[in-house]
Structure 1
Amino acid sequence: MDEVLEAAEMAQDAGLEGAFVWLFRIIGLLAVLAGLALWLFANWSLLWIPAALIVAGVLLLAIPQLLLELLELAG
């Protein structure tokens, strides 16, 4: 876990935090859209897979910005 925080601090020091946040937001948005598409258009009996994709996408949309703000407050 320390390595992840160090990598995030290095990215923040280099001024790349905005690029990482937007990359995670795009991946999160794609995960949400894929989950919704599977839920609405696929005839699956396993509804936990689309639900997991939607939850993971929402987390990817929210967590990167919160992590960078916490690092800014801590450092």
Structure 2
Amino acid sequence: MDEILDVAELVVDSGFEEAIAWLLRIVGILCILAGIGIWLFVDVTILVPIGLIVLGLLLVAIPQVLLLFLELA
């Protein structure tokens, strides 16, 4: 866990935090759209689309929370 925090601090110190946050947000939006598309057009159990939608929502929301946490720590 300490290694992950060290890498995150290195990213914040290098100035790439906004680029990585936007990259995670874009991946999150793609996961949400994929989940909706799978739910509408593919006959699979409901767990797969719901999982993708929840993962997408987390990827959209978490970068801002992580950046705030790293600035406070």
Give TM class, smaller chain: over 0.9
Figure out how many residues of one structure are paired with residues of the other and give that number. Answer: 73
Q: CA deviation at 1:41?
A: 1.4
TM-score by length of 2: 0.95
Q: Percent identity?
A: 53
Deviations along 1:25-69, one digit per CA (max 9) or x if unpaired, are 01100000000000111122x110000000000000011110111
The answer as to 2:46 corresponding to 1:47 is yes
Q: CA RMSD in A?
A: 0.8
Unaligned runs of 5+ in 1: none
TM-score by length of 1: 0.92
Separation in 2, partners of 1:51, 1:28: 13
Separation in 2, partners of 1:5, 1:66: 14
Unaligned runs of 5+ in 2: none
Question: Is the contact between residue 8 and residue 68 of structure 1 (CA under 8 Å) also seen in structure 2?
Answer: no
